[in-house]
């Protein structure tokens, strides 16, 4: 049986994050994380992003529920960075701008 490494999973998530929705003809694979940056915290956009990740990268459905999360980290006086965490690996969705 083949075992998936953390680096391989990280590569899959990085590919997913860099692919716009409908980036492949006939498939809605990909994401638009920038669209959630200006939405209210009570919006369901974060849950939708996680659902889309689990739908597009099926292997993530075998991870425990808490292994995929989306959260914000205060950065400076007036900045809030959005971070996606998958199996202990973090991905900055704010773009560093």
Q: Decide if 46 is inside a domain.
A: yes
Q: Containing domain of residue 32, as a range?
A: 6-92
Q: Decide if 1 is inside a domain.
A: no
Q: How far apart are CA 74 and CA 55, in angstroms?
A: 29
Q: Decide if 28 is inside a domain.
A: yes
What domain count does the chain have?
1
Q: Decide if 97 is inside a domain.
A: no
pLDDT surpasses 80 at 43: no
Confidence of residue 96 (pLDDT cuts 50, 70, 90): low
Within 10 angstroms of residue 68's Cβ, the number of other Cβ atoms is 20
Model confidence over 44-73: pLDDT tens digits? 888 999 999 999 999 999 999 889 999 989
pTM: 0.86
pLDDT surpasses 70 at 34: yes
Q: Decide if 70 is inside a domain.
A: yes
Q: How far apart are CA 67 and CA 20, in angstroms?
A: 23
pLDDT given at position 68? 95
């Amino acid at each position: 049986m083949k075992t998936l490494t953390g680096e391989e999973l990280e590569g899959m998530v990085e590919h997913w994050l860099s692919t716009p929705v409908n980036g492949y003809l006939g498939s809605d694979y990909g994401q638009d994380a920038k669209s959630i940056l200006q939405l209210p915290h009570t919006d369901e956009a974060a849950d939708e992003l996680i659902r889309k990740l689990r739908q597009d990268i099926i292997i993530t459905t075998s991870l425990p529920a808490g292994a995929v999360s989306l959260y914000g980290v205060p950065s400076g006086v007036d900045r809030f960075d959005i971070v996606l965490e998958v199996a202990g690996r973090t991905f900055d969705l704010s773009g560093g701008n």
